[in-house]
């Protein structure tokens, strides 16, 4: 089966929020954001902007009719800045005009009197000043302090780990259309329609049933629209309510890059201790999360950082400190992996440095510490169904790691100015929202009298293929072709209280709900079929649209059976609800069973570094991945390759640059470089683990969205191995990403 939107995407006919023809009288809005990163907002001068031709109104904090505050966890964020501005681009006002050009001109004409305060952009500095969004927490297992004396090798160090721009193709946008009786219809590019519904209702002072949010598809989300699509929808809603007219906001790329949060940058301290056999005895890490101005999702992101700090390794003594440091940057937010990659990174650095000290290769240490069944994480969950070792062993064998290493060693011996490097990355990623209550999914299935089927779930199509997965699942449960099934927009009037499409869990939760709904309809239909054919429903099955009895086709088709069911007044629509059992997690204690299951995989990356120029290529990625029983192999492959690409970008090319005054200087694609097709490895091999099942996923499948992101991390270390083949790495702090500039400086440390 192909991705169900592919024919529309490749021909440019897929509709996004602003592709639907505009309703009559629709107005356009542009945000006026703070020119400085930190200051007291003394006064606003909006007169000149109001005089711009076409400008209809300017909305500020004062204009908000209902709650002036929004926020994912707590209402800690004013929709517009009121008395203070906390980051450059902090929304202060919304200029609404009859054209986008007029609104843009108006926004440029706004000015604010701001008493500047010195901004803090470094989380270590924020930590030292006590600027924290929540209490700093320590999570422990075993006894780290008493074990150091038993360690043969101990290394410690500091890390500066950068953030990452989401760079979804479609920037944030929303269209709000007033309806009769004070109701609002909202089209939003959001991963979380119920969050948009709740906060639009909140800022307008309406009950939620007066607000309808509809989401057809997103041009990418990656976490960037899990919480931060809400702001723009709320702003447009305030404008629409005030002017009683449709209002649309479409952020320009530079505005989107300056005004929205990103993957959290972290600063980290680590210490690791090993015995002479390469067993990790103790690991300590302190995460200083650069959270940005408001809480947003920083707490939960930091939680996943903590949960994944030991990644795929069994470590008896662990101490993890986690601080959410408040800085004068846009609130950093969800981004594929949700803090997991930042949790895993320092342990790989620690292993790399321990390996250097011991005179072994990092994969020698990695392979000696992989988790297996029975291992108990520091948060109390016991590992079950572990395929970590299997993916590692298959990667080593199938891709001939020995041969790769020999080939690279020979190449490096022969070449003076070009060096190759190689690294491996094992990944163990927990599947479920760590906020346990979010683990619920809903599906509404309609079978119409012509036999065609409509599926609506809480899942948001953001390119990842959830719609295709839902069609494939309904098709398999009903026993009818894909073409008879349509997957609809996500709508808060068809599905209530939708969890965000996030945490890799969307197909799991909504797919299982779809199975439940389809089975409810099917059991009624088969009962009617049994009456018609004079047999027990248990003997019947539908295959490719035809009813089979004991495995042999009957005369009865799906369409005929649907009509018979309808005339018998038996339901042809059902709502399915699913929540995975057995989850419990105490976020305060950091203890419980947060994950329904884990996904596993191992990635190998080969790189070549030009030691004169500092440029490099990623030559090969070779992955063994555990997908359980994949629903649609091409859709899953797309997720694995896309995740890899984003992970590669994070550790290599993508460099967010902020000036000391807190100004984002990489605010456009001229200054922010992301991987393109050409950057991707020429050799991309993927081997799916065979004969695996997953009782936790729909039809035995496994979640796929986030785990492959972490494979890209191997490129960081592969590049460093190549550098080390040329010259030793000298550094007081390990810095990521490894941009070509940084590679060049590492190759020639004396020329700094």
Using CB under 6 A as the binding criterion, the count of chain residues that bind ligand MOS stands at: 9
Q: Does 429 bind ligand MOS (CB under 6 A)?
A: no
- Indicate the angle between helix axes 713-726 and 633-651, nearest 10 degrees: 50
3-state secondary structure 732-750: CCEEECCCHHHHHHHHCHH
In sign, the C-alpha dihedral spanning 100, 102, 108, 110 is negative
Residue 606 appears among annotated catalytic residues: no
Are 348 and 738 spatial neighbours (Cβ–Cβ below 8 Å)?
no
- Indicate the angle between helix axes 713-726 and 340-358, nearest 10 degrees: 30
d(CA 202, CA 77): 13
Question: Which among 515, 500, 470, 697 has a CA at the least distance from the CA of 599?
Answer: 697
Instruction: Identify any residues that bridge with 455 across adjacent strands, giving them in sequence order.
Output: 445, 487
In sign, the C-alpha dihedral spanning 215, 221, 227, 233 is negative
Q: Which is nearer to ligand MOS, 297 or 632 (CB)?
A: 297
Query: Which position among 18, 212, 226, 606 is part of the footprint of ligand MOS (CB under 6 A)?
Result: 226
Q: How far is the CB of 433 from ligand MOS (least distance, A)?
A: 8
Q: Does 191 bind ligand MOS (CB under 6 A)?
A: yes
Q: Which is nearer to ligand MOS, 334 or 395 (CB)?
A: 334
Q: Which is nearer to ligand MOS, 408 or 502 (CB)?
A: 502
Query: Which position among 72, 206, 334, 485 is part of the footprint of ligand MOS (CB under 6 A)?
Result: 334
Helix (H, G, I), strand (E, B) or coil at 212: strand
Q: Which is nearer to ligand MOS, 88 or 331 (CB)?
A: 331
Residues 622-651 that bind ligand MOS (CB under 6 A): none
Query: Which position among 91, 223, 614, 696 is part of the footprint of ligand MOS (CB under 6 A)?
Result: 223
Catalytic residue among 77, 284, 655, 706: 706
List of E strands, 460-513: 485-487, 490-491
Q: How far is the CB of 191 from ligand MOS (least distance, A)?
A: 6
Residue with smallest beta-carbon separation from ligand MOS = 223
Which DSSP string corresponds to 35-99?
A: SSSSEEEEEEE-HHHHTSTTEEEEE-GGG-SS--EE-SSSS-EESS--SEE-STT-EEEEEEESS
Q: What is the residue whose two structure tokens read 């709904």?
A: 517
Q: How far is the CB of 226 from ligand MOS (least distance, A)?
A: 4
Are 354 and 162 spatial neighbours (Cβ–Cβ below 8 Å)?
no
CA dihedral 94, 95, 101, 107 (to 10 degrees): -80
Q: Does 596 bind ligand MOS (CB under 6 A)?
A: no
Q: Does 335 bind ligand MOS (CB under 6 A)?
A: yes
Q: Does 336 bind ligand MOS (CB under 6 A)?
A: yes
Stretch that binds ligand MOS, among 206-214, 332-340, 372-380, 713-721 (CB under 6 A): 332-340
Stretch that binds ligand MOS, among 73-81, 130-138, 171-179, 328-336 (CB under 6 A): 328-336
Q: Does 96 bind ligand MOS (CB under 6 A)?
A: no
Tokens standing for residue 123 = 């989380």
Q: Does 338 bind ligand MOS (CB under 6 A)?
A: yes
Q: Does 424 bind ligand MOS (CB under 6 A)?
A: no
Q: Per the omega criterion (within 30 degrees of 0), is the bond before 737 cis?
A: yes
Residue 649: CB atoms within 10 Å: 23
Residues 487-506 that bind ligand MOS (CB under 6 A): 502-503
Q: How far is the CB of 461 from ligand MOS (least distance, A)?
A: 14
Q: How far is the CB of 341 from ligand MOS (least distance, A)?
A: 10
Q: What is the residue whose two structure tokens read 């510490």?
A: 369
Stretch that binds ligand MOS, among 48-56, 207-215, 329-337, 609-617 (CB under 6 A): 329-337
| Interface map 143-182 toward ligand MOS (x if CB under 6 A) | ----------------------------------------
Q: How far is the CB of 503 from ligand MOS (least distance, A)?
A: 4
Are 241 and 204 spatial neighbours (Cβ–Cβ below 8 Å)?
yes
Tokens standing for residue 519 = 């089975």
Stretch that binds ligand MOS, among 95-103, 335-343, 400-408, 546-554 (CB under 6 A): 335-343
Which residues of the shown chain bind ligand MOS in the complex (CB under 6 A)? Answer: 191, 223, 226, 334-336, 338, 502-503
Q: Which residues are catalytic?
A: 706
């Amino acid at each position: 089966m192909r991705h169900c939107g592919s024919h529309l995407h490749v021909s440019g006919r897929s509709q996004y929020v602003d592709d639907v023809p505009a309703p009559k009288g629709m107005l356009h809005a542009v945000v006026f954001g703070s020119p400085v990163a930190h200051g007291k907002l003394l006064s606003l001068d909006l007169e000149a902007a109001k005089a711009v031709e076409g400008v209809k109104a300017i909305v500020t904090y004062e204009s908000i009719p209902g709650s002036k505050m929004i926020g994912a966890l707590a209402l800690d964020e004013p929709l517009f800045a009121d008395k203070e501005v906390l980051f450059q681009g902090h929304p202060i006002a919304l200029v609404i005009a009859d054209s986008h050009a007029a609104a843009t001109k108006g926004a440029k004409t706004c000015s604010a009197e701001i008493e500047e305060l010195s901004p803090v952009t470094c989380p270590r500095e924020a930590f030292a000043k006590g600027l924290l969004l929540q209490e700093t927490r320590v999570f422990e297992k075993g006894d780290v302090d008493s074990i150091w004396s038993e360690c043969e090798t101990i290394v410690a160090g500091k890390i500066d780990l950068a953030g990452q721009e989401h760079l979804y193709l479609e920037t944030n946008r929303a269209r709000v259309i007033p309806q009769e009786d004070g109701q609002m219809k909202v089209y939003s590019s959001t991963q979380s329609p119920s969050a948009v519904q709740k906060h639009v209702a909140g800022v307008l002072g309406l009950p939620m049933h007066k607000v309808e949010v509809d989401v057809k598809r997103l041009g990418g989300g990656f976490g960037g629209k899990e919480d931060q699509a809400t702001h723009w929808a709320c702003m447009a809603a305030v404008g629409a309510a005030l002017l009683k007219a449709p209002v649309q906001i479409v952020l320009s790329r530079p505005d989107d890059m300056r005004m929205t949060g990103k993957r959290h940058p972290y600063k980290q301290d680590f210490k690791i201790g090993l015995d002479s056999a390469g067993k990790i005895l103790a690991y300590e890490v302190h995460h200083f999360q650069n959270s940005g101005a408001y809480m947003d999702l920083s707490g939960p992101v930091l939680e996943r950082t903590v949960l994944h700090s030991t990644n795929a390794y069994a470590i008896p003594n662990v101490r993890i400190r986690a601080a959410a440091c408040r800085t004068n940057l846009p609130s950093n937010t969800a981004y594929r992996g949700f803090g997991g990659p930042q949790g895993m990174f320092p342990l790989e650095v620690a292993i790399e440095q321990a390996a250097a000290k011991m005179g072994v290769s990092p994969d020698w240490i990695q392979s000696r510490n992989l988790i297996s069944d029975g291992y108990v994480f520091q948060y109390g969950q016991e590992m079950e169904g572990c395929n970590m070792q299997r993916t590692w062993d298959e990667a080593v064998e199938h891709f001939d790691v020995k041969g790769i290493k020999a080939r690279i060693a020979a190449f490096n011996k022969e070449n003076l100015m070009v060096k190759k490097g190689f690294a491996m990355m094992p990944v163990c990623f927990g599947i479920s929202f760590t906020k346990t209550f979010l683990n619920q999914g809903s599906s509404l299935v309609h079978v119409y009298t012509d036999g065609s089927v409509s599926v609506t779930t809480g899942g948001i199509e953001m390119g990842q293929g959830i719609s295709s997965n839902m069609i494939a699942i309904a098709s398999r449960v009903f026993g009818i072709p894909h073409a008879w099934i349509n997957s609809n927009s996500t709508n808060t009037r068809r599905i209530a209280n939708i969890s965000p499409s996030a945490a890799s869990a969307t197909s799991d939760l909504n797919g299982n709900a779809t199975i439940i709904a389809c089975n409810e309809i099917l059991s009624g239909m088969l009962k009617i079929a049994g009456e018609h054919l004079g047999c027990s429903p248990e003997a019947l099955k539908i295959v490719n649209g035809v009813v089979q009895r004991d495995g042999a086709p009957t005369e009865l088709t799906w369409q005929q059976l649907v009509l018979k069911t309808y005339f018998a007044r038996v339901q042809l629509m059902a709502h399915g609800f699913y929540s995975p059992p057995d989850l419990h997690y105490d976020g305060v204690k950091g203890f419980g069973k947060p994950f329904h299951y884990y996904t596993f995989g191992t990635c190998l990356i080969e790189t070549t570094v030009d030691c004169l120029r500092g440029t490099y290529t990623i030559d090969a990625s070779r992955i063994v991945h555990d997908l359980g029983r994949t629903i649609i192999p091409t859709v899953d492959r797309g997720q694995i390759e896309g995740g890899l690409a984003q992970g590669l970008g994070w550790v290599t090319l993508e460099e967010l640059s902020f000036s000391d005054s807190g100004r984002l200087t990489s605010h456009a694609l001229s200054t922010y470089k992301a991987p393109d097709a050409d950057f991707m490895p020429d050799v991309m091999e993927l081997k799916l683990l065979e004969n695996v099942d997953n009782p936790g996923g729909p039809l035995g499948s496994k979640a796929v969205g986030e785990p492959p992101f972490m494979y890209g991390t191997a490129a960081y270390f592969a590049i460093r191995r190549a550098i080390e083949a040329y010259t030793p790495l000298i550094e007081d702090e390990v810095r990521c990403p490894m941009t070509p500039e940084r590679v060049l400086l590492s190759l020639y440390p004396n020329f700094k």
